[in-house]
Amino acid sequence: MTLDFLRARVQFGKPIGSFQALQHRAVDLYIQTQLSNAVLEEALPALARNPDGRTRAALVSRIKARCSEAGLRIAREAIQLHGAMGFTDECDVGLYLKRALVLSAWLGNAGYHRRRYAQLTAGDTA
């Protein structure tokens, strides 16, 4: 949705998506999605092997911390890239931010899960 907006919105006679600063911000957000996907894809086979409770909890905390942080960052940046329009009822990106805030806080935020992951993996040599 944000990429479509960047392609469609014209300022100074050019689509704003052609401006290098906005392209760099969009790439940073794409990297966040890829990092989240990588953490999830790495953990799924390990979870499928039905590990002990401590390992399972560590894997889940790692996923939750990464995905919560990425989701919030992406939603907040999308609002910025949409400008004031991102806060209006006509633009769904504001609703996505609200949903990301709720999901991020649900069952512990990213900071909580980073601390939990560190406690659960303390002493592991991997």
Domains of the chain (ranges; CATH) run: 2-9+16-120 (1.20.140.10)
**One-letter-per-residue 3-state SS of the chain:** CHHHHHHHCEECCEEHHHCHHHHHHHHHHHHHHHHHHHHHHHHHHHHHCCCCHHHHHHHHHHHHHHHHHHHHHHHHHHHHHHHHHHHCCCCCHHHHHHHHHHHHHCCCCHHHHHHHHHHHHCCCCC
pLDDT value for 126:
53
pLDDT tier, 46 (very low <50, low <70, confident <90, very high otherwise): very high
pLDDT value for 28:
95
Range name among 49-58, 86-95, 116-125 with the lowest pLDDT average: 86-95
- Judged against a pLDDT cut of 60, whether residue 55 lies above it is answered with yes
- Judged against a pLDDT cut of 70, whether residue 104 lies above it is answered with yes
**Average pLDDT taken over every residue of the chain:** 89
- Judged against a pLDDT cut of 70, whether residue 26 lies above it is answered with yes
When pLDDT is averaged across residues 97-104 and rounded to a whole number, the result is 91
When pLDDT is averaged across residues 26-34 and rounded to a whole number, the result is 95
- Judged against a pLDDT cut of 70, whether residue 69 lies above it is answered with yes
